A and B are shown apart, each in its own frame.
Chain A
Amino acid sequence: MIRSLIYSLTFHSIMILLTILSLPFMLREPIDLPPIVSVELIQITDKTSIPYAPKARKIIEETKKKEKERLVSEQAPPTAKAKEKPDRIPLPNEKKEEKQIVKKKQNPEEIKPEIRQSSEFEKKEIVDTNQIAALIDKAKEEEAVKKQKDDKVTQSSKKNSFATGLTLSQEDALRAQIFGCWSVPLGLPYDENLLVRIKLQLKKDGTIMKSEILDHQRMNKPGQKFYKVLAESALRAVRLCQPLKVPPTGYEKWKELQLNFNPTEMLKG
């Protein structure tokens, strides 16, 4: 009885441990789509320099306004400031500002400087913790503003498009490059599976560090001679195409690529 209980307990604890270990991996990253770029077509008149599209201009102005308002609101109301000053222990200018922001965030009605009386040490501590929270909040706020801007304003949308590895246009460029290099062997059977998967490890400049045919065991099977030829042609294409047209940034995302070569559609057409 006891022994089985021990078994059960150890097994369950291991399972719990494994679940804890594995759960973060199971979580899929939220799909972070690059912002949609809206383009407004305008009539080109005699003017040669067009500063902004009228709509975009409006949006930019609006966002700027909002920003200003926000900046103003982030600063504590002048009355509060006035009240605060006599009680305050002199702090460096930067800290002052940050503190003010914190105050705004932390519901100013509750933390009234007049009521609060604490030692210098205590005060310092309070300021420090709030400072971190404020920094985080500020960062969040900034990102939100930036996103809002990106969504609305067309002119400045290129900034964070590598968030998901390759954008469609980058993928297309790469695909078009390989199309040109791939001499498809003719005489392939129509009714066989012609998928060749090649995994690549790339250097930052787009040259190939390592290439691997994922189904290489199929190459040496009897009656699959065509597959070997096809796989070799795909490999040749990749090598001939070096260096691949990879984006200048986001190396971590594309340092490993899988290319799925499949000429079936082409042969049918």
Chain B
Amino acid sequence: MKKILIIFLLNIFLFNKSHALIEIDITRGNLDPLPIAISPLHVDIKSENFEGLKIKELGDNISYIIENNFRGTGLFNPLKKEAFVQKPDIAHLKPRFEDWRLIKAQALVTGKLLVKDGKLKVEFRLWDLAAAKEMTALAFTTTPSNWRRVSHIISDKIYERLTGEEGYFDTRVIYVAESGPKNQRIKKLAIMDQDGANTKYLTLGNELVLTPRFNPTNQMVTYMSYFRNMPRVYLLDIETGTQEVVGNFPGMTFAPRFSPDGKKIVMSFAKEGNSDIYTMDLESRVVERITDHSSIDTSPSFSPDGKFIAFNSDRSGLQQIYVMRSDGSGVKRITFGNGIYGTPVWSPRGDLIAFTKMRKGKFYIGVMRTDGTGERLLTENFYQEAPSWSPNGRVLVFYRETKSGSRGEGFSAKLWSIDITGYNERRLKTETDASDPSWSSLLSK
């Protein structure tokens, strides 16, 4: 009885209360980049020197890399350091929030580092300035030469805390480095950090290399190379530098790609003059035919759950994108727009498929849902293709070629990135011309 009475009274109370409350719907906000202050990291005075590293400048350098990463996202606006009032060491202990709010910062990154006994210890804190509280704090210990990676890892952690998505800074991009005139291009396999630093060349350039693709689970790469005019599919371990030939395939072979678990590769090659899609188990080397159609089926790409494969085919006349189950059943056309569609790539988040579209002599990079609806063309140009996803499914990297004269003069190929919203198109700095990029998964995962 008491209970009933209490419930009854509670109901009356709540009913009465909810009735009085004024509600206001906020359905819009601004999409301006979030102003963030990245204070230089304080270098502990006990720090020792280490193999030519300028320890005193390390704090500034790390904060500069973080700043650069954030500016590159288009989502953050790192504020100028000249405006900072508080010194790094004091700010790291307890920031004076009013001072930072004064320069219109909404978040603050502080940190300190110590190099001792051949080890680098970096700690950082992220502060919510409006709430005047710490959002996250972490410390890393590594060899001092790894300081760039530490900067990227810190960037990832901050990015994750502020956006709710995984970061993509501690990653690398593999691409085909090109040099020489257009008709005599030297193509080498190259790899760099996502911010353009630490470029390394993995092949000498004697042979033509094409379509390098990262394994989504580790730092292995598959690519194609022509050896005595015969296409071969290679596997390359980036950490050790070892290479192996997966197989010789007849005729034209295209774009090998890993399955999400990294155990298979899917590719297309021509058998008896007809291009179809095949998978190959990397352990047993068993090749399995997936499509069997008289049309040209190419560019297969697995969905992240491994259940579906997207590919392009000209079975309906013009080249369009199709999706099928990974065993080849249930083929379904998903693009019906005007123009030619190609290079479908399934997003690591699984919600979108990126593609290249050609229409009226222009090339577009776009995204659509996996059923083909909601097509959005992100960028238009004279020639561009081969989109590859950042590991968080937020950014696409692709390459763009410029128009050249009759003798190939003025020709260039560069890497570009764009956010899936269509904003923040940027060129990725590379030492040479570059094409066919592929983005790795997070190294620290």
Q: Tell me the A residues contacting B by CB distance below 8 Å.
A: 14, 18, 21-22, 25-26, 28, 165-166, 171, 174-175, 178-190, 199, 225-230, 232-237, 239-240, 253-254, 256-266
Contact = CB atoms under 8 A, between A and B. Distances in A.
Given A179-B28, A182-B30, A257 B130 contact: no
A19 to B, nearest CB: 10
Interface stretch (B17-25, B194-202, B219-227, B269-277): B17-25
B26 A179 contact: yes
Interface of A is mostly: helix
Contact of B29 (A179, A199, A229): A179
Contacts of B419: 186
Given A237-B29, A262-B26, 7 more contacts: A25-B12, A25-B16, A175-B25, A187-B163, A225-B164, A258-B23, A266-B29
Nearest to A189: B351
B421 to A, nearest CB: 7
Contacts of A239: 130-131
B30 to A, nearest CB: 6
B430 interface: no
B188 to A, nearest CB: 35
Chain B interface extent, by class: 35 or more
A258 B162 contact: no
Interface string B280-306: 000000000000000000000000000
A123 B30 CA distance: 73
A191 B170 CA distance: 28
B164 A260 contact: no
Q: Which 10 A-B pairs have the closest CB atoms?
A: A182-B29, A229-B164, A226-B164, A184-B29, A239-B130, A236-B130, A225-B164, A258-B23, A187-B165, A261-B26
B15 to A, nearest CB: 7
Given A182-B29, A187-B165, A256 B106 contact: no
A213 B181 CA distance: 62
B20 A256 contact: yes
A70 to B, nearest CB: 37
Interface of B: 1, 5, 8, 12, 15-16, 19-32, 34, 75, 106, 128, 130-131, 160-165, 351, 392, 394, 419, 421
A167 to B, nearest CB: 11
Contacts of B130: 235-236, 239-240
Nearest to B35: A183
A185 B106 CA distance: 13
A171 B128 CA distance: 28
Contacts of B392: 187
Given A22-B8, A183-B29, A236-B128, A260 B23 contact: yes
A236 B131 contact: yes
A178 B27 CA distance: 10
B159 to A, nearest CB: 10
Contacts of B162: 185, 229
B21 A179 contact: no
30 contacts: A14-B1, A18-B8, A21-B12, A22-B12, A165-B22, A166-B22, A175-B24, A175-B25, A175-B26, A178-B26, A179-B28, A180-B30, A183-B30, A183-B32, A185-B164, A186-B31, A187-B394, A226-B165, A227-B164, A229-B161, A232-B131, A234-B26, A235-B131, A236-B128, A253-B22, A257-B21, A258-B21, A260-B23, A262-B27, A266-B29
Contact of A187 (B8, B24, B164): B164
